[in-house]
Structure 1
Amino acid sequence: MPRCRSHRCSLPALALLLLLAGCSHFLTRPEAPSVSLNNLQLVEATLFEQRYLLHLRIQNPNNFDLPISGMSYRLLLNGREFATGVSRDLETLPAYGEQVITVSVVSNLLRIYEQLRSPGDGEAFSYALEGSISLQGLRAPLPFSQRGELALNPR
């Protein structure tokens, strides 16, 4: 087998290095998007189940697009689970971009009853939005969490 001359062997190696450098952001785990609650809207209420639309603001802190394949999430009120949901086939979130998406959540009569039975201190209620976002091509989902408080009697 003839020996490889240095300039012939270095060309494929250089091409491989350039390819790896171009794909390096896919090899590192992206920073999780920021997800916040924008609005909650009751859509349908039956005796056993209530459906709501959650309007979520999602912000991408990465310098590359995030192709979102799905989300799972839950909304807690005063420390108790209130509603849960999943969504798929969401849009790609552009680099350093943000968008408001609408997803659905489901609650049930027992969860409503628990909220009414012990509503908190009467001045405000706390909420938490927790979940994870799955990206195309990334096995492990990216978790998110946002907490806040809403005053019932603003001064």
Structure 2
Amino acid sequence: MIIAKSLAKQFSFITAILFLLSGCATMQLNYQDPSVELISFKMLPAKGFEQNFEIGLKLTNPNNFELPLNGISYQLSVAGSTLAHGVANNIPTASAYGESRFIVPLSTSLLTGIKVIKALMDSQGQEVSYQLKADLDIDIPLIPTITIIEKGLIPFAHKSL
């Protein structure tokens, strides 16, 4: 009799767990990846053997819920060469169907910066290609870190985008 009650409790527990898991499996999060765009680029004074920059980014949220970020890591390549990288953690939340704009620091070694400057000079005033890779750490359960790659052209004749 005791064994039958124990088996009945175990069966009920397992059935309840399976029921809950099947409910989670059918639950759909209507989620779309956000986009990140490079909207400005500013060279700052060099410090020692390090060249610093500030870039402006625009995060666009196509979802019907806000996207809070724990942080972002990013890498900027210009003319096919990695120019600089950086991380930031004070990123404003993108509201539902909204955008957030923010400025983040970038840094590179002076030698790498010289290589990219040479590539820019070789472009002879033409547009130069760039690639921005951003890893977004979204502060929402079940949404992993998202990698976004944006490519575009920098109009070399202008100082900023």
The question of a shared fold, defined as TM-score above 0.5 by the shorter chain, is answered with yes
Deviation, 1:47, is: 3.4
Distance in 2 (alpha carbons) for counterparts of 1:72 and 1:100: 16
Identity of aligned residues (%): 28
Distance in 2 (alpha carbons) for counterparts of 1:29 and 1:132: 21
1:125 aligns with 2:125: no
Question: Aligned residue for 1:136?
Answer: 139
Higher mean C-alpha deviation, range 103-112 or range 39-48: 39-48
Q: Could you give the per-residue CA deviations for residues 7-31 of structure 1, whole angstroms, max 9, x where no partner exists?
A: xxxxxx9xx99xx79xx5xx63832
SS in 1 for 2:44: strand
Q: Could you give the per-residue CA deviations for residues 50-85 of structure 1, whole angstroms, max 9, x where no partner exists?
A: 121111111101111111111010111001110100
Letter in 2 for 1:134: D
Distance in 2 (alpha carbons) for counterparts of 1:43 and 1:121: 22
Letter in 1 for 2:136: I
SS in 1 for 2:117: helix
Q: Which has the higher helix share?
A: 2
Higher mean C-alpha deviation, range 106-115 or range 70-79: 106-115
Contact residue 73 and residue 131 of structure 1 kept, 8 A: yes
Q: Which has the higher strand share?
A: 1
Give structure 2 stretches of 5+ with no counterpart.
6-15
Please show how residues 3-152 of structure 1 align to structure 2 within 5 Å: 24=27, 28=29, 30-119=31-120, 120-122=122-124, 123-138=126-141, 140-152=144-156
Contact residue 52 and residue 108 of structure 2 kept, 8 A: yes
Distance in 2 (alpha carbons) for counterparts of 1:90 and 1:113: 30
- Root-mean-square deviation (Å): 2.7
Distance in 2 (alpha carbons) for counterparts of 1:81 and 1:95: 33
Contact residue 79 and residue 119 of structure 2 kept, 8 A: no
SS in 2 for 1:56: strand
Distance in 1 (alpha carbons) for counterparts of 2:44 and 2:58: 19
Deviation, 1:96, is: 0.3
The TM-score, its normalising length taken from structure 1, stands at 0.74
Distance in 2 (alpha carbons) for counterparts of 1:71 and 1:30: 19
Distance in 2 (alpha carbons) for counterparts of 1:29 and 1:87: 27
Contact residue 69 and residue 91 of structure 2 kept, 8 A: yes
The TM-score, its normalising length taken from structure 2, stands at 0.72
Aligned residue pairs total: 135
Letter in 2 for 1:103: V
Distance in 2 (alpha carbons) for counterparts of 1:115 and 1:70: 27
Distance in 1 (alpha carbons) for counterparts of 2:42 and 2:150: 18
Distance in 2 (alpha carbons) for counterparts of 1:65 and 1:115: 37
